[in-house]
Structure 1
Amino acid sequence: MQWEFTPEDVVRGELEYDLKAFRQDLFEEVAANLPSDEAHVVQQSFNLIYDLCYWQATGREFSGFVATLDEIAFLDAPALQEINEHMGDNITMLGAILQRMIMDGVESGLVLEQAVAQAADLHDQAVAETR
């Protein structure tokens, strides 16, 4: 995806671009680039690609993500690797959003561990709303 602002702008809180907006933008990008317009295919593809981005935005390696997938995953490792090569900007932006969420918690008076836990809870809620 392309934005008219940077991940640094998000981290600094210079604008409102939150997890919900990011997920909507990513969903639209995935839907626009799939050969199928079947709702379940689009949703399944989005879920996998979002999870891939989240995995790496939280500091984990691509190979670890692939290792978590079971044998019935609808995409194999080479296909995921090809997708991953195009996700760098999305991973960076998602990382910035998550960082801003943590900073919001700290700025509201939470200690870092509490802010991280709160951000994780907010993330889980946002994901659950659209799965």
Structure 2
Amino acid sequence: MQWEFTPEEVAKGAVDYGLAEFRKGLEAEVKMNLGGDDEAFLQQSFDLIYDLCYWMATGREFADFAATLDDDTPLEIHVLQVIKEYMRDNITMLGAILQRLIMDGVENGMPTHEAIENAARQHAETVSGSLRP
């Protein structure tokens, strides 16, 4: 994806760009790059690529991510390795979004551990499509 702002601007709160916008852009990018009419495959591929980006953005290793995958994953491990390199900027941006979520909590007076838990909860709600505050 291309942005007219930097991950640093997002992390500092200078730009209002969040998880929902990121996921919408990533979904469009995945559908454009993979093409085809198989909606189930496209959705599974998007979910997998988003999970990969999240895994890497939270500082974990690709090999550990690969070890969690089932044999019936829509994209093979060697393909995901290539995708990971292509997603480098997306991973950095997602990391900045997550940092901003944590900082929002800290700036609102939460202790760091609570801000991290709150950011994780917000992430889970966004990913699941929940509209709860």
Instruction: Please classify the TM superposition score into its range, dividing by the shorter chain length.
Output: over 0.9
Aligned to 1:102: 102
Could you say what the CA RMSD is over the residues aligned between the two structures, in angstroms?
Answer: 1.1
Does 1:9 pair with 2:9? yes
Quick one: distance in 2 between partners of 1:74 and 1:66? 13
Quick one: distance in 2 between partners of 1:38 and 1:9? 37
Quick one: distance in 2 between partners of 1:95 and 1:112? 17
Quick one: distance in 2 between partners of 1:118 and 1:37? 37
Contact 2:13 2:100 in 1 (8 A): yes
Unpaired runs of 5+ residues, structure 2, are: none
Superposed counterparts of 1:44-123, under 5 Å? 44-123=44-123
- Cα offset for 1:39? 1.8
Name the TM-score, length of structure 2 as normaliser: 0.94
Quick one: distance in 2 between partners of 1:59 and 1:50? 15
In the TM superposition, what whole-angstrom CA distance separates every residue of 1:25-49 from its partner, at most 9, and x where no partner exists? 0001001111313221211110000
Aligned to 2:64, the other structure's residue is in SS state helix
Name the TM-score, length of structure 1 as normaliser: 0.96
Aligned to 2:35: 35
Quick one: distance in 2 between partners of 1:77 and 1:86? 14
Aligned to 1:125: 125
The structure 1 segments of at least 4 consecutive aligned residues displaced by more than 2 Å after TM superposition are none
Contact 2:102 2:116 in 1 (8 A): yes
Quick one: distance in 2 between partners of 1:19 and 1:67? 26
Contact 1:31 1:37 in 2 (8 A): no
Unpaired runs of 5+ residues, structure 1, are: none
Work out the number of aligned pairs and report it.
Answer: 130
In the TM superposition, what whole-angstrom CA distance separates every residue of 1:69-97 from its partner, at most 9, and x where no partner exists? 01121222111111111010000000000
Contact 2:41 2:74 in 1 (8 A): no
